[in-house]
Amino acid sequence: MTAADRPVRVLLADDHPVVRHGLGLILEAEPDFTVVARAADGAEAVAAATAGGVDLAVLDIAMPRMSGLQAARQLTRRCPELVMLMLFMYDSEQYLLEAKRAGAAGYVLKSVADRDLIAACRAVMRGESFPHPGMSGSVIEAALRHPGRVSSNDRVLSAREQEVVKLIADGDSGREIVELLVISAKTVERHRANILQKLGLRDRVDLVRYAIRSGLTEP
């Protein structure tokens, strides 16, 4: 069977099981899609996609451990042929622009996913973008030509440092970060100090503001 003959193989990544289940039902009801993998966070999504056998990744922008934006950035480098679509809780031009920079073909609001998800998936698999109807193409293009300071900072941080930023912004304590990432307390503190130095920030409040601006957590 050729790629043109078989259904599009979809990876669904969302930290809410009910959402994953619901989106899976919507996709599986169509003969041209089949859900081959599910992930509860960005790290699981990256692992599933890089294992192969996935054509389209549908990624929630805000997930624990690694956000959808972080996962998209990694997958753009590691799986350049993979098509990506982002799920957003909020209608945000900034999030759309960050998703575009990360390599996603477009985004769908969760509130209308039951209506728009199939059309969005088909559009991006045809090589088309799927921006929100109210988004001006010229605005997107202008922003992509002139990346902001936040995106540059994102490239300064390692993947693990971005994980630490997200967990701090989500309110996890040092002990919880140790348990979630399976690293020592000294390593967590070293990451935190390196992050503050690299970004020119002062404290946890600054880190939370940075995480919100860069799409590592929901506002």
The pLDDT profile of the chain, 219 residues, written as one tens digit per residue, is 446 678 999 999 999 888 899 999 999 999 999 999 999 999 999 999 999 999 999 999 888 888 898 899 999 999 999 999 999 877 666 677 788 888 999 888 888 888 899 999 999 999 988 864 444 454 445 444 544 444 444 557 887 888 888 888 878 889 999 988 889 999 999 999 999 988 888 888 788 777 766 666 654
Strands (E), the chain: 8-13, 33-39, 56-60, 83-88, 106-109
In a domain, 95, yes or no: yes
**What range defines the domain where residue 134 resides?**
8-145
> Based on the domain organization, do 155 and 53 belong to the same domain?
no
Q: Alpha-carbon torsion 11, 16, 18, 23, what sign?
A: negative
> Cβ(103)–Cβ(121) under 8 Å?
no
> Based on the domain organization, do 20 and 110 belong to the same domain?
yes
> Based on the domain organization, do 138 and 167 belong to the same domain?
no
Instruction: Count the domains in the chain.
Output: 2
> Cβ(69)–Cβ(21) under 8 Å?
no
> Based on the domain organization, do 165 and 91 belong to the same domain?
no
Q: Which of 125, 145, 165 is the last residue of a domain?
A: 145
In a domain, 124, yes or no: yes
> Based on the domain organization, do 52 and 158 belong to the same domain?
no
